[in-house]
Amino acid sequence: MDSARRVRTQMGRRPRRACRRSHAAWRHRHRFSLLDHTHNQKIKRDGRETKKHYPDVKVLIFSTATKVSQHEKQKWAKEILDELGLQLIVVSRAEFINWLLDPGRAEICRDQLGILPPMPTELEPALERAREAAKETADNWDRVYRKAGRPVINLKAVKLDENGNPNEAATTDSLGASLDEGQRIVLEAPAGSGKTTTLVQFGRRVLSAGGLPFLVDLPEWVSSHRNILAYIAEYPAFGARDIDANLLAKLRGKYPPTFLLNGWNEVSVANTGAADSAVRDLERSFPAATIVVTTRLHRLTPPLRDVVSTWR
């Protein structure tokens, strides 16, 4: 009897330890199935956004904190290629972090991710020269665009909603606070209302906070067909201080750079496409930068993504 009972127990029941192992394995597989589905959906969502805003991008790199099998990587890559036409590269977060820690990737961290690695101390004198050049540029613009002896007034503005309707009042001072947050701003106003003078005030505010602002004549920059840093380096104030585009790319103040672009509406019809591409490329190259664009009421709006506010 005891032998028969032992046989039935061994044949008819599953040991509890084996059941626990089996259930744990099922939960493990089920968990990773859910994670794989979530990751795949996120990759597709990111891929669609990339195609929408950056149609020239061909490769999508996806970083994940969880381990992904080679089989899953290949399956995801095929789906993304078939559905979106993008080449997908999947890397672990640890691999990606180690790759970014390489000193040779400092510019990628700074310009693409907004991560500011320490600037070498030997570049501090060059930074001060660049800030002096930026101040001289702001002073020159002030003399050209504002009549001598006329006081700088605190202009009033209203924020527009997505339909172009005013929904919030602000002054130049409160609007300038947005510069401290790395925002995208469009200043829209009639001729002679103080747009350029406001840009100069913004530039001086950035300088006083330890940053590095660049005042840019937008139509002239677009017509030059040059990289924006190469264009800025040709300013007399920068050239006189031996500051070229390569040096500018290595400099940073306490914050990411601030680009103050004047005159979107003054771009010629022939250069409209080039202006659109130039501003998009600027935003893509300096995602952490503050960008302000001035314009009169115009049929085409500056192609900035995630514009925090449009002011009139």
Place of tokens 């977060």: 93
Contact 135, 205 (CB under 8 A): no
Angle at 38 between CA 33 and CA 40, to 5 degrees: 95
Cα 58 to the chain's mean position, in Å? 18
Phi, psi (rounded to 5 degrees) for 148:
-60, 135
Which of 217, 216, 219 shows the shortest CA–CA distance to 270? 219
Phi, psi (rounded to 5 degrees) for 145:
-95, -15
How many C-beta atoms surround the C-beta of residue 281 within 10 A?
13
pLDDT tens by residue, 6-56 = 333 343 444 444 444 444 443 444 434 444 556 778 888 888 888 888 888
Question: What percent of the chain stands above pLDDT 90?
Answer: 23
pLDDT tens by residue, 196-206 = 888 998 899 89
Dist. CA 105–CA 95, nearest whole Å? 14
Angle at 136 between CA 141 and CA 234, to 5 degrees: 85
Q: Which domains does the chain have, with CATH numbers?
A: 20-101 (no CATH), 122-311 (3.40.50.300)
Angle at 288 between CA 286 and CA 290, to 5 degrees: 90
pLDDT tens by residue, 247-269 = 998 887 667 889 999 999 899 88
Which of 156, 159, 164, 155 shows the shortest CA–CA distance to 299? 164
Pairing of strands 290-295, 258-262: parallel
Dist. CA 253–CA 248, nearest whole Å? 11
Q: What is the pLDDT of residue 74?
A: 87
Dist. CA 295–CA 265, nearest whole Å? 5
